[in-house]
Amino acid sequence: MVSLEHIWSVNEDRLSFMQKLGLGMLKRLVITWECITKNNIMNYASALTYSSMLAAVPVLAIIFAIARGFGFDTIIEAKLRNSLEGNPEIADTILNFVESYLQHTKGGVFIGIGLIFLLYTLLSLTANIEQAFNNIWFVKRSRSIYRQIIDYIGILLLLPFVVVITSGLSIFLQTFSTLLPGLRLLSKTMTFFLHVSPVIFAVLIFVLLFKFMPNTRVKWRHTIFPGFLTGMIFMAIEWAYVHYQIKLSAYNAIYGSFAAIPLFMLWMQISWYICLFGAQLCYANQRLQTYAFERISDELSRRYRDTLILLLMNRICKHFASGLKPFTAHRLAVNTHLPDSLVGILLDELTRVQLLVEAHNEPGDEPYYLPAIDIHRITVGMVTRRIDSHGIESPSLVWQTGTPEWDALRSLRNEGDDALLIDL
Distance between start and end Cα atoms, the chain: 55
pLDDT tens digits, 353-402: 999 999 887 766 678 899 999 999 999 988 988 888 887 766 565 555 56
How does pLDDT run across 237-296, given as a tens digit for each residue?
888 877 776 665 555 555 555 666 777 788 889 999 999 999 999 999 988 877 777 777
For the chain, domain boundaries: 12-286, 297-391, 397-424
Q: How confident is the model at residue 155 (pLDDT cuts 50, 70, 90)?
A: low
Architecture of domain 297-391: Orthogonal Bundle (1.10)
pTM of the predicted model as reported, rounded to 2 decimal places: 0.73
Q: Say whether pLDDT at 2 is over 50.
A: no
> Does residue 387 contact residue 349 with C-beta atoms inside 8 Å?
yes
pLDDT at residue 183 above 60? no
Interacting residues of 404 by C-beta distance below 8 A, sequence separation 6+:
none
Q: What is the pLDDT of residue 158?
A: 65
CA-atom Rg of the chain in angstroms? 28
